[in-house]
Amino acid sequence: MRRALVGLLSVAVIAVVAQPAVVSSFAAPRAAEIVCPLEPAGIIACCEGPIVHASLFPPICCPVPTGAALIACPVQRITITTTPNPSSAAQRVTISGTARVFPSTATVELWQELPNQRSFHQVASTNADSSGAYKFVRGSIETNRRWYVVAGGTRSSTVDQQVTAILTLSSSARTAKAGKPMLLAGHVTPTHVGERLLLQQRTSQGWRTVQSTKIGHNSAYAFRAVFTRTGRVKLHVLLPADRRNARSTSAVLNLTIA
């Protein structure tokens, strides 16, 4: 009985092994291909991982489903420019550029750092148009500052906005006698109380400093100047560059020394 059972099992195994294999006429399924929505700027390969936190500002990756074979995303790029740069105190400045991000109409945030600050702060936001273009107009810009914009988790480069102070210069008379003192006075905007201001005269070798003074109360200043030679004199005042303003000069004052 045991021998008969073993014989039957052996025949069954041989029958199973000898049975022809069934081959499917369909190829094995390919992994899903995931591609981010594309912008005209093109695509770049993304890392295989979750969306990266926006504060790190790398290219943003698509979420990766299980079995995904290809990950691609838009080129994340934002341009920024300011006009004019340098600007003069209280002049309007336009900040503009193009946000090549997804979606193209994403919110664009403007971040600013002032001379006395150690970090950036968001100061404005706007929506890019269908082409990705954006614009901010900032008024009453009196001091240097730094700007960048953020859209779609991508950060632009940083722009250093240089701002020149407004310096006025006037004289007690347009004609003075040689050897006689005359008063030269003016005002500086924005305030630079206590800082050094230079009075310069035009010579054949360029501008030469002839006097200096400290800017006084209400950001006003004055010089008592004496000219020993007759002829025409060209003067201006110079405020050296500091953290708050770029190197600044007044308009040229023309005097006649008789």
For tokens 């190197």, the residue is 247
Percent of the chain scored above 90 by pLDDT? 63
pLDDT of residue 65: 52
Residue 136's DSSP bridge partners are: 95
Residue among 69, 63, 64, 70 nearest 31 (CA): 69
pLDDT digits (tens, 9 = 90+) for 9-40: 343 334 333 444 433 343 444 444 444 444 33
pLDDT tens-digit readout, 240-258: 999 999 999 999 999 999 9
Residues of the chain with CATH 2.60.40.10: 77-164, 166-257
DSSP 14-36: HHHHHSPPP--SSPPPPPPEEEP
- Domain 77-164 fold is Immunoglobulin-like (2.60.40)
What span, in angstroms and rounded, lies between the C-alpha atoms of 199 and 183?
A: 12
80-91 average pLDDT score: 96
CATH homologous superfamily of domain 166-257? Answer: Immunoglobulins (2.60.40.10)
- Contact call for residues 13 and 6 (beta carbons, < 8 A): no
62: pLDDT strictly greater than 90:
no
Q: Which pLDDT band, with edges at 50, 70 and 90, does 129 fall under?
A: very high
d(CA 75, CA 41): 6
Where residue 43 falls among pLDDT bands split at 50, 70, 90? very low
Is residue 67 scored above 60 in pLDDT? no
pLDDT digits 0-9 by tens, 47-57: 433 343 333 33
Task: Report which DSSP code applies to 108.
Answer: E
Q: Centre a 10 Å sphere on the Cβ of residue 110 and count the other Cβ atoms it contains.
A: 21
Mean pLDDT, all residues of the chain: 79
Write the CA distances from 102 to 9, 37, 59, 62, 169, integer angstroms: 66, 8, 11, 11, 52
pLDDT score, position 5: 39
Q: Report yes or no on whether pTM surpasses 0.85.
A: no
pLDDT-derived band at 77 (thresholds 50, 70, 90) equals confident
pLDDT value at position 56?
36
